[in-house]
Amino acid sequence: MPKVGILANTKKPLIKEVLPAFFEEVKSSPYVFQVPEYLRSIFSNFPDYIKVVDEKKLLDNSELIISFGGDGTILRNARLIGQREIPILGVNLGGLGFLTTSSVKMARLHVDEYFTQQLNVEKRTVLGVKIEGEKDVHFLLNDLVVDKAGFSRLIKITTYIDKKLLNSYIADGLIVSTPTGSTAYSLANGGPIVVPLTNAFIINPICPHTLSNRPIVVSDHTKITLTIESEKGEFNVFGDGQMIGTYPEGTSVSLQKAEYHVHLVQVPEQEFYTILREKLGWGEDFRKKNKSEK
């Protein structure tokens, strides 16, 4: 029997209602559902047909992960899954979401459709980040951000593409984004929307001193290297919205495409262009809308 792992954001108020209802729906299904130990903090008892296991075991033997939460929950779970490349079906419990394609009402059906090969799985590019002086590589689905660490003055970010100088940005910071992350911080900072399966990275300065410094799209087969200078003597690095650390100026940050992908299950009714139209209001006649509200 196929094993399905359930990972959930326990901070979402809806989770206490959603999971019991989902468990009831799947009680006669031909799958083994597994939940991690941390869910005991919000549930005192689980049905007999739901197995409670430690998180590592769940990740090691699941054929599908259902992620209950928002886009941030998928980013966290993608880091946990790592190179296992287990497909993730995101169930949206949040607001504006580009990664969570399923809903509470449709989750049970989408599990069936996945195992009967009716749903596509997209292989999303992962950004591998190596920071000078550290052994570990940070793997990111959305983006890497360097910023000026709360300092009032701008920082200088010298950027190389395959050892060739691109630019020395004088700015509040810099975003390097995957296509998946193009609809996140980079979009809010005036960057382009890039279709998820495009083989590219977006380099996007944050509030640059010179208006001619615009976002640029480069091949994801390149290696990007950043060297940061700051009068404060340090800068911050964030990955997928989470603090990675504070580093002394002159520290080199290298980025390139990882050797594995994050696999996201897609559903027809939430195809990427449909999400763009719905989330961004494309095609709406705001003149008529404003007129009707008066």
pLDDT over 70 (residue 47): yes
pLDDT greater at residue 80 or residue 46: 80
What is the pLDDT at residue 278?
87
Domain identity same for 171 and 219 = yes
Question: Is the pLDDT confidence value at 145 over 90?
Answer: yes
Asked if 285 is an active-site residue, the reply is: no
pTM to 2 decimal places: 0.92
pLDDT of residue 279: 85
Instruction: Tell whether 132 and 157 lie within a shared domain.
Output: yes
Indicate whether 114 and 140 sit together in one domain.
no
Residue 115 and residue 2 in contact, taking contact as beta carbons nearer than 8 Å: yes
The verdict on 136 and 249 lying in the same domain is: yes
Q: Would the pLDDT of 294 be above 60?
A: no
Confidence at residue 6, expressed as pLDDT on a 0 to 100 scale: 97
The mean pLDDT value for 113-122 works out to 97
**Side chain identity, residue 50:** I
Predicted pLDDT of residue 86? 98
Containing structural domain, residue 15? 3-120+266-287
**CATH number of 208's domain:** 2.60.200.30
Find the catalytic residue in 48, 54, 60, 71: 71
Average pLDDT, the chain: 94
Together in a domain, 250 and 148: yes
Confidence check: pLDDT of 54 > 80? yes
Domain co-membership, 170 together with 278:
no
Tally the domains of the chain: 2
* Strand ranges of the sheet holding 200-206, from the earlier edge strand across to the other edge: 216-219, 200-206, 173-177, 143-147, 234-239, 242-248
List, for residues 230-289, the tens digit of each pLDDT value: 999 999 999 999 999 999 999 999 999 999 999 999 999 889 999 999 888 887 766 665
- Same domain? For 77 and 154 the reply is no
